[in-house]
Amino acid sequence: MKDKLQEIKKEATKRLNEATVLNEIEKIRVNFLGKKGEVTAVLRNMGKLSKEERPIVGQLANKIRQEIEKSIKEKKAVLEKEIEKKKIQAEKIDVTLPGKKRGLGKVHPITKTLEDIEKVFLGMGYLIAEGPEVEYDEYNFEALNIPKDHPARDDQDTFYVNDNIVLRTHTSPVQIRVMKETKPPIKIICPGRVYRSDTVDATHSPIFHQVEGLVVDENVTMGDLIGTLKEFAKGVFGEDTKIRLRPHHFPFTEPSAEVDVSCWNCHGKGCRVCKNEGWVEILGAGMVHPKVLESAGIDSSKYSGFAFGLGVERITMGKYNIDDMRHLFENDIRFLKQF
Amino acid sequence: MKAPMKWLKDYVDIDVSAKEYADLMTLSGSKTEGVEKLYSEVKNVVTGKILKISNHPNADKLVVCKVDVGDEILQIVTGADNISEGDFVPVALAGASLPGGMKIKKGKLRGETSNGMLCSLGELGLTKYDYPHAIEDGIFILDKEYKLGVNILDALDLRDEVVEYEITSNRADCFSIRGLALESAVTLGKEYKDVQINVKEEANERTEKYIKVNVEEKELCPKYSARICKDIKIEPSPEWMRKRLKACGVRPINNIVDITNYVMLEFGQPMHAFDIEYIEGNCINVRLAEENDIFTTLDDEERKLNNNNLVIADEKKAIALAGVMGGANSEINNDTKMIVFESANFNASSVRKTAKQVGLRTESSSRFDKDLDVNYVIPALNRACQLVEELNAGTVLKGIVESEGKDEKRNIIEFNPKDINDFLGTDISKEFMEKTLTALKFEIRKDEVVVPTFRKDVVGFQDLAEEIARFYDYNNIEPTLLKGKETTVGRKNRKQEIRDIIRQVMTAEGFYESYTFSFGSPKIYEKLMIDKEDAVVIRNPLGEDYSIMRTTTYNEMLESLSVNYNRSIEEAMLFELSNVYKPIENSDLPKEIERLTIGGYGEIDFYSIKGAVTELFNSLGIINYDFDPIEEKGMHPGRTAKISINNEKVGVIGQIHPEVSENYEVKRETFVGYINIKSLVENAQLEPEYEILPKFPSVNRDIAVVIDKKILAKEIEKVIRNNAGQFLEKVELFDVYEGDQLDDDKKSIAYSLFFRAKDKTLNEEEINKDMDIIIDKLKKELGATLR
C-alpha cells in the first residue's frame, strides 16, 4: 500500500507537471483526491490492513493527500498567473493613436488680451468699471476738455445719433461717470467697445475695444503713472519688457505721453513687428487734466490723477502677429481655434 | 509738416544726423514720422556736355551723341530733339538708377552703341515748376556751364533731408519752420538764431493812398493788415526758394505767390496776395458772405457760400474766402503790376467750419483752425515785403494799413518749482526749469512765468510741468508705485464674475467665442423674417449696412456661421457676449441689454444647445428654470423653446427657420439662442449650498410607458413628481422610442426613478406603494399604458 501511495504521488506530480490548462488541473484533482479518486480509494481500502499498519498508512495517505493538494494549488497559481499575463499582453493598444477629445471651444483672442490686462490691474488693486456705448456727447467730449469746436473732434471721426448723443469714441466717459459717482481714491480700468468712423480694412475697424485706466487720489505723481505702466508692460508682454514715453498732446491729460514698449518679438533688436524700431507704440497716457477733474466734480487743487488708454485689437494683433484686423470679427473657426 | 534740414539749419546749428535729430525731437515732444532723403533714388547721374550730334544710321527719329562726362567721352543714342551741341545735360551713366526703379545699362539702340542716357526733368523726379527754363518733354538742358562728371545732385545742390512732423492741435506754433527750429534749439541745447526782418519801403507813396481796410466782423477777424508793392515783375522765384517750397510739398508758381507760401511755411502765418487792379473801390471789407453767393476760388471751383462764411471783399464782391483760399477774380497773373499782401488773423472755429462746409482743407485753413497767434500778423507781412525787396520783385510802399486789433494777452502762471516736482515725482533743479523755460521764450519774473503769445496752450502749472518734463525727458522720471493712504482691493463684480463663468462653461461645451459688429442694416429684419423693431439710428453711418444699432444679435451670429459654412467648415459652434440696443421712450440714451448669444450647425441638434444652456444654469446655481415650446417668428415652429427662470422669460433657443438659414446660405439645420445676462446675474447662486451626503442607500425603479406623442416629457415628469410621495429623489429619462412597434400617434418613454429616505433604508412595500400611485396617475391623467 505504501508503494501504491508513493506511485500515486509520483503519477500525480507527473501529470501536474505536464498540465497546461486549468481544467486539466481540476481533472487531476478529481482523479486523485475526488470521492472516487485514487487517494480516496486507498483510504477506503484501509480496512483491509492490519491494526499496526493502519495508522502508518493512514498517516502516509494523509500526507500524500496534502502534498498533492499543495502541488495542485501551486500549479493552479502558476497557470492563473500565466493566463493573466497572456490576457494583459493581449490587451496591448496602440498608444500612438489619437486621443479621444471632448472638443473644447476657446475664448476669442480679444477676450484673451482683455483678461491678460485685467489680471495685471486687478492684482494692483483696480476695479473694472463699465458704462454705456451709446453716450452723451457731453461725457464723451465736453467733460474731457474737448469742446464742440475743438480740432481734436476732427481727428476722432465720431458717429452721431443726434447733436447730443454719440457712439462713444473711447471708454473715457466711463471715467467721467465713475468720478461723478465716487470719491477718491479711485483706481479703475474701463474696458469696452468703442466706435470711430473708419472704413473696414486690414488695419482699421469702425468698432474696436479699448482699455482705459484712471487713478485719482491725493499726491498722485507722473512717476506713479510711469511705474504703473511699467508693471502693466511687464505683466502683459513679459518680465523683461521696457517702456519708453514720448511727450504728446491729448486734450484730457497734461502732461501727455505716447508710450512704447520694447518689441516683444525681437526684444528691441528690430524686426517686422516693430518696423525695425525696436519699440512698438501701444498706449496713450498722462496726468488727468485739471479741467477734466473739475468737470467731474473733483477738486483739482487737492487731488491729482493719471489716465491711460490702449487699443485691445492692436495689442492682440501685435502679440500674435495677426495680419488682418478683419479676422477678428469674422469668427472663422480655424482662426478662433488657434488661441 | 515737412521740415527740410537745410532750412532748419538757418535757425539752429544741428550737428547730428537727420535720423538722430528726428529721434531726439520725438523724445522732446515734436513727433516725427520719418526722414525722407530727397532724390535718393537718383544714382550715378552726372553732368555732361554734348560735343557732337549725328544722325542715327538706321533710325530717322534717333540721334547719336558724343557726350563729355569729365573723364571720358561716351556715345549715347537719344530720341530727343531739343538738344544742341554744346548743351550741358544730366547723363545717367551705365549702372545709374532713376526714380521709379529704372536702371540704366549699356546697350545698342537700332545697332548703335549707347553707353548711358540723357535725362529729362521727369526722369530725375523734377518738374518745370522746379526748373521753369526747361521743358518737360525733352532733355533737361542745364541753364549754365557746370564742371563735367559731377554728380547731378551735387551740381544742382538738390540733396537735402526732410523731416516729417506730426503737429498736434495744441501746437499751431510748430506748424512752421521757425517754431520747429525753436523746439530744435532747446532740444539740442543750441542757440536759436531768428530771422532779422527789415523792410526798406523804397516807394514814395503810402499804402493808405490805395487801400483802406474795414473789418465788420471783429470777432471773426481779430486782426487784418495789408501792404502794397508796385512795379512788380512776375517771374519764377529763385532756385533756392523753389527748392525749399518743393521740399515742403508746395508747388512753386511765381515769385509773389511763392513768397506768400514761403512766409506761411516759415512763420506759420498764412498770407495772400491780390492783384490790386481787380480790387474795386480801393477798399477791403472783412464781412460775412451773402447767403447763396457763388464764389470761384483760385482752383477754379465754384463754391456756394452762406452767411456764416467770412469773406474778404472789395466794394462790390468777395475776393477771398477768409483763411481758406483766395478768389480767381483777383488772382496774381503774369501781367500783375501792383499787389496787396494780406496778413490777418481769423477765428479758428469760423475757418474750420467754412473749410468743412465748402469741402476745402488748405495749408492755410489747417493753420488757422489751430488758433494762430495774432502777433504773427505784422512780422509775417513785413517778412513778405522784405522778400519782395530781396528778390527784386517790386518796390514796397510806405506804411501798413491795419485794423484795430486787440493784442494777445500773455498768460501768467505762478512758478513754484516744488509744486512742479511734487506733481511729476521728480527732483528737478530750479535752474534747469528756468533755463528750459527761458530757452522756450517764456519770461521768468520772480514767482511768475509769463507765457509767450504763440504758446496759448500753456495756461496752468501742469502745462509748465510738461514743458519742463519733456526736456528733462519723461524717461528720466523715476518710476514709483502709488503710495496713497487708503488701500484698494481689486476684484471683479458679480456681473464680471458671471461673464467669466459663462465663458468657462460655453468653451467647455465646445463653443468658440465670437465678436461681431454691433451696428447693422435695417434690412436684416426681413432677412431674419421677424418684425421690424425701433432702433437707434446713426446719423452719419458708414453706409446703410452699418446704420442702426442692433436690436437682435441673430443677424451677426448667422453671418458668422455662414462664413464658416461657406468655407466648408463641417461644424461651427459659437457664442458671444454683447449688447442689443433698444430705444426707450422719454429717455435719450437707449437701453443696452447684454446677451449671451449662441449658435451652431454641424453634428449638433436642439438638445446639444439645450444641454449647454442647462450646464450653464447648473454652473451658476440656477435651479428654477424651464424650457417650454414657443412659436417665434423666424424660428422653426416645432423646435423652439422659451427659456424661463422663476417663470420669467429670459431667452429663447431653437432651430432657425429653414428659410432663414437659406437666406444666410447655410444649408444645414442651424441653431441659435440667447439669454439675457441681467437675469443670470439676478438669479445666479454663486455660493454653493452643501447638502450632507446620504447615509442610506437609494432604491431604483424603472418605468416605461406608451403615451400620446403630443404629451411633453415635461408633463410626464410633472405627474411623476407630483405623485411620488416624499421619497422620490431623482427622475432620469433613459429612453424615448417612436416607431414600428407602436401606433403612429404614440411614443414609448422610459424613466429611472430613484427613491431615498434620509433616516432609513426603504423597503419594497413602501416603494411599491408609491410606484402604484404613479402608474395609476399616469394612466388617468395622461392616458399612459405600461409597456
Strand ranges (E), B166-248? 212-215, 223-230
Which helix (H) or strand (E) segment holds residue B633: the answer is none
Which residues of chain A are within 8 Å of residue B169 when distances are taken between CB atoms? 150-152, 155, 249
CB of A170 closer than 8 Å to CB of A308: no
Which residues of chain A are within 8 Å of residue B175 when distances are taken between CB atoms? none
DSSP B411: P
**A140 CB near a chain B CB, below 8 Å?**
no
A123 vs B424: CB contact, 8 Å cut-off? no
**A201 CB near a chain B CB, below 8 Å?**
no
- Residue B47 confidence (pLDDT): 95
- Residue B579 confidence (pLDDT): 97
CB of B163 closer than 8 Å to CB of B21: yes
- For B675-721, the pLDDT digits (tens) are 999 999 999 999 988 988 999 999 999 999 999 999 999 999 999 99
3-state DSSP call for residue B121?
coil
Neighbours of B495 (CB within 10 A): 16
Nearest to B477 among A223, A333, A334 (CB): A223
pLDDT, mean of residues A130-158 = 86
The residue among B462, B545, B664 with the most chain A CBs within 10 A of its CB, best to mutate, is: B462
CB of B350 closer than 8 Å to CB of B365: no
Q: Which chain A residue shows the shortest CA-CA distance from B535?
A: A161
Q: Is the pLDDT of residue A172 over 60?
A: yes
- Residue A102 confidence (pLDDT): 67
Separation CA B624–CA B609 (nearest Å) = 18
C-alpha atoms less than 13 angstroms from C-alpha of A164 in its C-beta half-sphere: 3
How many residues does this entry show for chain B? Answer: 787
CA distances (Å), A43 to each of A10, A13, A25, A36, in order? Answer: 17, 19, 22, 11
pLDDT, mean of residues A319-333 = 94
Q: Which chain A residue shows the shortest CA-CA distance from B460?
A: A290
Which residues of chain A are within 8 Å of residue B567 when distances are taken between CB atoms? 332, 334
**A336 CB near a chain B CB, below 8 Å?**
yes
3-state DSSP call for residue B601?
strand
Nearest to A193 among B488, B518, B567 (CB): B518
Which residues of chain A are within 8 Å of residue B581 when distances are taken between CB atoms? 133-134
- Residue B657 confidence (pLDDT): 95
Neighbours of A98 (CB within 10 A): 5
Nearest to A134 among B426, B477, B581 (CB): B581
Cis check: omega of the bond before A109, within 30 degrees of 0: no
A255 vs B490: CB contact, 8 Å cut-off? no
Separation CA B256–CA B393 (nearest Å) = 8
Nearest to A247 among B474, B482, B486 (CB): B474
- Residue A152 confidence (pLDDT): 67
B519 vs A121: CB contact, 8 Å cut-off? no
CA distances (Å), A46 to each of A1, A12, A40, A64, A66, in order? Answer: 9, 20, 10, 15, 18
Q: Which residue has the cell 472789395?
A: B314
Strand ranges (E), B202-350? 212-215, 223-230, 271-275, 283-288, 294-296, 302-304, 310-313, 318-321, 325-326, 339-345
Residue window 15-54, chain A: list those with CB within 8 Å of chain B: none
Neighbours of B9 (CB within 10 A): 14
Residues of chain B with pLDDT under 50: none
- Residue A38 confidence (pLDDT): 82
Instruction: For chain A, give the percent of residues with pLDDT over 70.
Output: 98
User: How far is Cα of residue A276 from the mean position of the Cα atoms in its chain?
Assistant: 33
Separation CA B152–CA B68 (nearest Å) = 14
Residue window 76-115, chain A: list those with CB within 8 Å of chain B: 102-108, 110-111
C-alpha cell at B470: 519733456
CB of A222 closer than 8 Å to CB of A255: yes
Q: Which has the closest alpha carbon to B75: B102, B99, B48, B100? A: B48
Q: Which residue has the cell 520694447?
A: A262
Adjacency order of strands within the sheet including B699-708: B728-737, B746-755, B699-708, B785-786
- Residue B701 confidence (pLDDT): 92
Between CA B23 and CA B29, with CA B26 as vertex, the angle to 5 degrees is 155
Bigger pLDDT: A39 vs B162: B162
CA distances (Å), A291 to each of A296, A297, A299, B464, in order? Answer: 9, 10, 10, 15
The residue among A104, A204, A219, A254 with the most chain B CBs within 10 A of its CB, best to mutate, is: A254
- For A231-287, the pLDDT digits (tens) are 999 999 999 999 999 999 999 999 999 999 999 888 888 888 888 888 999 999 999
Separation CA B83–CA B50 (nearest Å) = 8
C-alpha atoms less than 13 angstroms from C-alpha of B36 in its C-beta half-sphere: 16
Q: Which residues pair with A262 in a beta bridge?
A: A279
Strands B512-513 and B572-582: parallel
CA distance A176 to chain B (A): 16
